[in-house]
């Protein structure tokens, strides 16, 4: 596998990276927006998944709820990715050797891919045809993936 | 502010038509952008224009904080390689469960999400999870405070955060005891009473501000 080092170096040398590094407040601000958007994204995902698990009274179809929340999930994800890229570029070289960061990115790709493929497909399919167990498995996998992204993200600051 | 411009737009938009979904996405992005600018301004204000350390006049409280700081549990959490990150990780993810869930009820009150569902229905679906989230947040938050009590006492951001949490609590309590009691009268109303919308707006703004101060606090420690 080719090394990803050039990509990290490129990000590290971007003008925008210097801009973030040379300011006292852009990094905290970007990180704060990152976390506020995280609340919205995790909330939307949990809302749907907790319904799938049957923890909350199911009086509307989950697919209807998921469709309703889609614009919020999507826009908060965009905000998270943009602020995340900003944070990343400012300390790309530090992150290149960070194990939690590597875990986080892998989990993030998995989580996004899972959310827009299997997760969406299972929710869109009627439970009669699929059986409720699959919905629950999907919900557990989804929650586990997103939680690992969040925990690994927090771990970057500590390890 | 942001609430005004985005609150006005979705009224009358049918959730089912395909064109409105793109419209909703764009509105979501605009709202995200506006919130990002507001948050940046606030963080800048708190990080640069405001002193981050305080010498509070409450010697009594300070003594308690110092005493807490020196207890074995406090030292243990603070100096543990795993415990502090783990508690903080749970605290962070608790945001998703507490504020992340509550925000859907607030957005429903404002008429920005799930407009075709009765308010009481959204409430009964969101609340069990949000309540669990808040319990989790208060427990982990309490432990984090225990570990950093003496530092937190001198942090302006910490005091602002506590103040904001109290305000959010007052807002929720007032809504519960007055407006929410008559939920049956406006459960499915196309436009909710101003008092209900205000409660949603304040809750949304206050909890966002709590998250912001929580984050800026860590930079000023």
Q: Do A68 and B121 touch (CB under 8 A)?
A: no
Q: What is the pLDDT of residue B20?
A: 73
Lowest mean pLDDT among A5-14, B43-52, B184-193, B211-220: B43-52
Confidence at residue B147, expressed as pLDDT on a 0 to 100 scale: 92
Q: Does A126 or B83 have the greater pLDDT score?
A: B83
Give me the residue from B21, B47, B96 closest to A71, CB to CB: B21
| Cα separation, B166 vs B148, whole angstroms | 20
Mean pLDDT taken over chain B:
84
ipTM score: 0.74
Interface test with B, best of A19, A26, A28 (most B CBs within 10 A): A28
Closest of B188, B194, B196, B24 to residue B109, by C-alpha: B196
pTM: 0.80
State the CB neighbour count (10 A cutoff) for residue A31: 20
Taking the CA atoms of B104, B109, B113 and B118 in sequence, report the sign of the dihedral they define.
positive
From A2, A27, A7, A30, select the one nearest A105 (Cα to Cα).
A7
Nearest CA in chain A to B36: A33
Half-sphere exposure of A23 (CA within 13 A, CB side): 19
Taking CB atoms and an 8 Å limit, are A60 and B219 in contact across chains?
no
Q: What is the pLDDT of residues B109-139, one digit of tens each?
A: 998 888 888 999 889 888 888 999 999 999 9
Distance separating alpha carbons of residues B192 and B165, to the nearest angstrom: 25
Residue B24 is predicted with a pLDDT of: 73
Q: What distance in Å separates residue A115's CA from the closest CA in chain B?
A: 17
Residue B131 makes CB contacts below 8 A (sequence gap 6+) with none
Report pLDDT digits (tens) over B172-213: 999 988 888 888 888 888 888 889 999 999 999 999 999 989
pLDDT of residue B8: 40
Going by C-alpha positions, the residue among A125, A47, A124 that lies closest to residue B113 is A47
Average pLDDT, chain A: 87
Phi and psi of B27, rounded to 5°?
A: -60, -40
Asked whether residue B78 carries a pLDDT value surpassing 80, the answer given is yes
B contact test, residue of A39, A48, A53, A57 with most B CBs within 10 A: A39
């Amino acid at each position: 596998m080719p090394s990803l080092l050039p990509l990290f170096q490129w990000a590290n040398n971007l003008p925008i990276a210097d801009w973030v590094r040379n300011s006292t407040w852009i990094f905290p601000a970007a990180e704060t927006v990152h976390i506020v958007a995280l609340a919205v994204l995790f909330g939307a995902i949990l809302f749907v998944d907790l319904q799938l698990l049957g923890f909350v009274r199911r009086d509307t179809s989950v697919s209807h709820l998921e469709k309703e929340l889609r614009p919020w999930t999507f826009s908060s994800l965009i905000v998270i990715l943009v602020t995340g890229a900003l944070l990343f570029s400012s300390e790309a070289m530090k992150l290149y050797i960070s194990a939690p960061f590597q875990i986080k990115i892998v989990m993030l790709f998995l989580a996004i891919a899972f959310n827009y493929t299997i997760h969406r497909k299972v929710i869109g399919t009627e439970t009669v045809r699929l059986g409720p167990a699959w919905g629950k498995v999907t919900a557990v996998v989804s929650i586990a993936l997103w939680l690992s992204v969040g925990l690994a993200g927090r771990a970057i600051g500590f390890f | 502010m942001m609430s005004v411009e985005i609150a006005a737009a979705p009224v009358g938009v049918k959730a089912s038509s395909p064109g409105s979904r793109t419209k909703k996405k764009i509105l979501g992005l605009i709202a995200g952008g506006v919130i990002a600018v507001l948050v940046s301004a606030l963080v800048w204000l708190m990080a640069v224009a405001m002193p981050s350390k305080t010498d509070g006049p409450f010697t009594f409280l300070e003594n308690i904080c110092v005493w807490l700081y020196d207890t074995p549990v406090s030292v243990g959490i603070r100096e543990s390689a795993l415990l502090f990150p783990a508690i903080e990780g749970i605290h962070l993810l608790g945001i998703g469960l507490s504020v992340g869930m509550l925000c859907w009820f607030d957005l429903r009150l404002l008429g920005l999400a799930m407009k075709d569902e009765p308010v009481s229905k959204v409430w009964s679906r969101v609340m069990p999870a949000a309540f669990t989230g808040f319990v989790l947040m208060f427990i982990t938050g309490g432990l984090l405070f225990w570990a950093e009590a003496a530092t937190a006492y001198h942090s302006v951001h910490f005091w602002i955060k506590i103040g904001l949490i109290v305000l959010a609590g007052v807002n929720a309590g007032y809504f519960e005891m007055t407006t929410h009691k008559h939920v049956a009268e406006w459960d499915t109303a196309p436009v909710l009473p101003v008092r209900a919308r205000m409660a949603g707006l304040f809750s949304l703004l206050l909890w966002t501000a709590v998250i912001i101060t929580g984050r800026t606090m860590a930079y000023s420690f």
